[in-house]
Amino acid sequence: MNCSKILVINPGSTSTKIAVYQGCESVFLKTLRHSSEQLAQFENISAQFEFRKETILSELIQADIEIDDFDAIVGRGGLVKPIESGVYEVNEPLKADLRKGVLGEHASNLGGLIADDIAKTIPNARAFIADPVVVDELEDVARVTGHPDMPRRSVFHALNQKAVAKNYAKAIDRKYEDINVIVAHLGGGISVGAHRKGKVIDVNNALDGYGPFSPERAGTLPTGALIDMCFSGKHTYEEMRKLVNGKGGMVAHLGTNQAHEVEAKAVAGDEHNMLILTAMAYQIAKTIGGCATVLKGEVDGIVITGGIAHDKTVIAYIKAMVDWIAPMKVYPGEDEMKALADNALSVLSGEVTCKVYQ
């Protein structure tokens, strides 16, 4: 058994999750909260680098965790250039793009930078990122839209989708690279991907594009009505961006992004809450059906994951619509920390070859 010691770093907008793994076992897990007052002193996310790094190191010291014997530090991958799925060793081109935020600024951009900086202080330690949201394995035909200036982009929950797809493959005694599976990640954003023989050949843009609406995101909208709203003079550019991502979906319909609250009201008899909840489930199932056509009906399984996978009403609705396609397996919640640790461990054990970012 590989007993490598791994530090996992997952920066979010107002928190930083850290974990220590000894081989496959988690021995320490902590969410470090950052107040708005603490973050307000920084001009941008890049400027938070030293603050977040020192907060992590201080927490490890307080927990009596030896820092100088880590074999690897793995950080959440950020908005770098579109890349294939896999584990990437942090190098200079990767660090440059994480600093620039070539596809946007997000706290996850700090993951690889902090991992590299800590690893440099430890003899023989290696720094990695794995399966960032910009993983792009789309087939060319899936990129084409009705206008050449607006091609489809691959932005989705790559880390968790890949992890649960591999878990499903193991559960049916198959290799991920040998099966076709549809994975639906149901969280604040919703992504539904068609995985064919180890590659996500089609997936909706879960950040600001299209697909099912979610607790916070509007998903696919009627284009004409959206254009009219943009030029109505009633909304600023920033407000329209928020309408699509942040104040869309359940927030727009019901004033909340808490799916479990919506389900509780729906089950208690609130007809409008039930309508919105089942409409979301309807759109998820419809997208799963679309992925089944992409895979030409050759589907070995449908996997549902993410926080909303705990919602029995949503799961029952989806199952009733898609059960004819393939067996459906539910992995509620998500475990990004373990997924990151497992990816690092796969490289340290020699099971997987590390990829080079260029």
* Distance from the Cα of residue 258 to its chain's centroid: 18
- At 120, the pLDDT band (50, 70, 90 cuts) reads very high
Average pLDDT, the chain: 95
What does the pLDDT read at residue 1? 55
Residues 257-288 pLDDT 10s: 999 999 999 999 999 999 999 999 999 999 99
The mean pLDDT value for 80-85 works out to: 95
Q: Rounded to whole angstroms, how far apart are CA atoms 8 and 128?
A: 10
How many Å apart are CA 125 and CA 72, to the nearest integer?
5
Chain position carrying tokens 């596809």: 103
- Distance between CA 77 and CA 128 in Å, rounded? 9
> What tokens does 233 get?
């003079």
Domain at 5-134+336-348: CATH architecture: 2-Layer Sandwich (3.30)
In 63-216, alpha helices (H): 92-100, 109-119, 140-143, 158-171
Residue 131 burial by CB count (10 A; 0-12/13-18/19+): exposed, middle or buried?
buried
Percent of the chain exceeding pLDDT 70 equals: 100
Q: Give the predicted TM-score (pTM) of the model.
A: 0.90
Residue 127 sits at φ, ψ, to 5 deg, of -115, 135
Confidence bin at 3 (pLDDT 50/70/90):
confident
**pLDDT value at position 75?**
97
Work out the average pLDDT over 77-106: 93
Q: Which DSSP state fits 343? A: H
* pLDDT at position 2 over 80: no
pLDDT score recorded for residue 10: 94
Per the DSSP assignment, residues forming a β-bridge with 190 are: 186
Confidence bin at 106 (pLDDT 50/70/90):
confident
Domain 158-332 in CATH: superfamily? ATPase, nucleotide binding domain (3.30.420.40)
pLDDT value at residue 247? 92
pLDDT digits (tens, 9 = 90+) for 169-215: 999 999 999 999 999 999 989 999 999 999 999 999 988 879 999 99
Instruction: Give the domain ranges of the chain.
Output: 5-134+336-348, 158-332
**pLDDT tens by residue, 290-328:** 999 999 999 999 999 999 999 999 999 999 999 999 999
pLDDT (mean) for 130-159: 95
Tell me if domain 5-134+336-348 and domain 158-332 are identical in fold.
yes
